Amino acid sequence: MRRISTLLAGTTLAIFASAGTAFAQGATPATQTQATAAASNDADDAEIVVTARTRTERLQDVPIAVSAVTGDQLEREQVNVIKDVAALTPGLNISSDAVGRAFMSIRGVGTTLIDTVQPGVGIFIDGIYQPNTSYLNNPVNDVDRIEVLRGPQGTLFGNNTLGGAINVITRRPGDHFEARLAADYAPQDNYETLSGAISGPILAGVLGGRLSANYHTQDGFSTNLIAGGDARPLENEAVNGALVWDASHGAVVTLGAYWNRVTGSQTAYAAPSSPTDYLDDVALNLNSIAQYTYYGANLRAVFDITSNTQMTATLAYDHKQGVASGDGDFGPIDFIRVTEGRNTRNTFTGEVRFDTHWTDRFSTLVGLFADSSDSNDVIHRTVFGFPLPVSTDAQGLDSQAVYVNGFYNLTDTLELSAGARYDHQEVTASGTAGRYEASEIEPRVTLTQHWTPNHMSYASIARGFRGGGANPPGVGLDFWQGDSVWTYEIGDKFMTDDHVFTLNTAIYYNDYDHYIGQNGLTPTLQAVNLNTGTVQSYGAELEGIWRPNAWFTLSGGVSYNHSRITDDSDWFNVIGTHLATDRILFLPDWNYNITPTITIPMGADDIRFNTTITYKGDRAGSSLSPTRQPQLEGYTLVNANLAYEHANWTIALWGTNLTDTRYYDSYLDSSLLEAFFGVGSPLAHELGITGDRRRIGVRVSTRF
């Protein structure tokens, strides 16, 4: 904590001292915030701008496999929580069985059942790291776009990005007054959303502000047959705010703050007989419900400290607090209850980054990063009404990093970029002797050839790393080590000069050591995190868009990812048996999405119709058995949106899962409960959580 305090103090001084220095400089370049906001206002703009290399660049110029989903797309597709963006992104898979966690992977990396494992895919809100997958269940509130970066991103984004990174970028204040309002309703499960935002100058040309709010609720499609009521409801509340001070002379300071509250089901599993027995309703002695409250603030300054160097300094604080209760044995016999579980986490983050253009051909990005978080878990359980000893777990995580990246134009069309990041991480835990500590270097080398202004190819080699951690006391394994990957990728990005056709492709090969995947279980149903072994994966991704005329657009993407466990010796050395399959949890080989859109002009108005079809292939569910593994069937979802757009108003009829497809979002076979009740016990059964059923609703929105 002492090291991060020093860095945070230095960052604070840098923000204010260097802001003053910026007034003395004569240059006034466009800032990253201004450029990004200006370039991404139009959801149909073929020249989408991203910050995938922490610089403002055209999506088509970035030598990384990146998908950018705009705020308008999110609204049309009824994406209300961050995790649902996976349906629109090749190679990204996210499942969830509770509002407090999610299972996420990119190209086969990141999927774990327990949220105490650091995610293998980094999650960032406006570039600020979020240390827990529970944030994926947070609402999408006033989002400008979501960028999904595939492949290791350690050199710029840090450790825990060995699979990639998800960067959620909110809308920022502009120079003109703007307001947005939207409301959605679907009667099938009382699905309701109400959102609004107001933005504009407070002091013209100097200070701008933006305030947004979002409320969403749904009953879900599951009923508790014993306790009664909705078994899997969801309620999201969110408020975001930002102040942007344009100090001129190349300096912009942004103060942001947010508050979110998410209430919903927490592992409310049904008891199906098999992965093809689709049960929505549950038989639990009480409804398993959790509520998580998040709030935080961040301060960011971007300014020119010399005529050729721009400095970005960030300070952030994030707080998470959760409370939950539920049926601990997932069945109708009132055996185990979690009467109360509490979780708190506080995270401090600081970063200083220098972007220097030394010559027309050579530039560098150099930075320092640190974060520190502490978490506390307290769980009260009862067995047949008698209280068990209270389970407590307190952990601390401290990370520090320094990174250097260089970009050199070997010719007018050929760029060589190379960089490395040094990460140091320490994990401490109550009741556990010693600490987990790791120091890692994550290099990346990329060669990029621009054949034309709208066509480029690239090849890259990179290493990624995810930190290990500490198990709760008394589970038999104090620590597990981090995992790492070497990845080799070739990509191509092509756009016709008239922007009619865009096609981006990538092929890759990944080699993972000490992969963190399936967790073990103690006889008291406590999760034990551990390493699996070696994983190898290869695959290809394709993403494109075709706009042959003003009224028709076809967009979509497809990914093939063959990820397999090639050596499970890390698992065997701890558990004593081998895994039943070489498949990775909940990861399909095939994913695709396709969206045709038709726009019919009606004078000054438009009628817009689009259909999105998404497919997720066969997957392996979770099992502790060395001989059997549940296999989940692939499924296809069909969404549609019919909208009438008049001036600043839109009224739309929309539908999700129109074919009412049945599928499991999460599935665990009976070996989980057999570990506690014994093989053949009537209390040991399969566990499954189905996906949402068909919804048909209406949306009204306006902006002015």
Kindly indicate the confidence band of residue 107, based on its pLDDT and cuts at 50, 70 and 90.
confident
The reported pLDDT for the residue numbered 11 is 40
* Burial classification of residue 649, based on how many CB atoms lie within 10 Å of its CB (0-12 exposed, 13-18 middle, 19 or more buried): middle
Kindly indicate the confidence band of residue 682, based on its pLDDT and cuts at 50, 70 and 90.
confident
**Cα dist from 460 to 536, 540, 561, whole Å:** 18, 15, 18
The reported pLDDT for the residue numbered 47 is 66
Signed CA dihedral, 451, 457, 460, 465: sign only: positive
The reported pLDDT for the residue numbered 117 is 82
Amino acid in position 518 = Q
Please, what's the b/e burial string for 679-691 (b: 16 or more CB within 10 A of its CB; e: otherwise)?
eeeebbbbbbbbb
The reported pLDDT for the residue numbered 617 is 95
Of the candidates 493, 505, 496, 565, the residue with the CA atom closest to the CA atom of residue 535: 565
**By the 8 A CB rule, do 84 and 96 touch?**
no
2-53, pLDDT tens digit by residue? 444 444 344 444 433 444 433 333 333 333 333 333 333 334 445 677 777 7
Rg, the chain, Cα only: 25
- Placement of tokens 């409301």 in the chain: 183
258-293, pLDDT tens digit by residue? 999 999 999 999 999 999 999 999 999 999 999 999
Q: Percent helix, strand, coil in the chain (nearest 5)?
A: 10, 55, 35
Three-state secondary structure call for residue 241? strand
Which range of 128-142, 342-356, 384-398 scores highest in mean pLDDT? It is: 342-356
The reported pLDDT for the residue numbered 111 is 65
C-alpha angle 438-443-447 in degrees, rounded to nearest 5: 165
The reported pLDDT for the residue numbered 473 is 77
Beta pairing class for 164-170 and 121-125:
parallel
- What whole-number percentage of the chain has pLDDT above 70? 92
Q: What DSSP string describes 362-412? A: EEEEEEEEEEEEEEEEEEEEEETTEEPPPEEEEEEEEEEEEEEEEEEESSS
**By the 8 A CB rule, do 623 and 266 touch?**
no
562-591, pLDDT tens digit by residue? 999 999 999 999 888 999 999 998 999 999
The reported pLDDT for the residue numbered 433 is 64
Signed CA dihedral, 503, 599, 702, 219: sign only: negative
* Euclidean distance between the first and the last CA atom of the chain, given in angstroms as a whole number: 47
The reported pLDDT for the residue numbered 32 is 35
Determine if the pTM surpasses 0.85: yes
The reported pLDDT for the residue numbered 134 is 76
Region 376-381: mean pLDDT is: 92
- Give me the chain's average pLDDT, please: 87
Kindly indicate the confidence band of residue 103, based on its pLDDT and cuts at 50, 70 and 90.
confident
Region 386-405: mean pLDDT is: 91
DSSP label at 30? P
200-242, pLDDT tens digit by residue? 999 988 999 999 999 999 999 999 999 999 999 999 999 999 9
The reported pLDDT for the residue numbered 36 is 36
Which residue segments constitute the domains of the chain, with CATH numbers given?
2-703 (2.40.170.20)
624-647, pLDDT tens digit by residue? 899 999 999 999 999 999 999 999
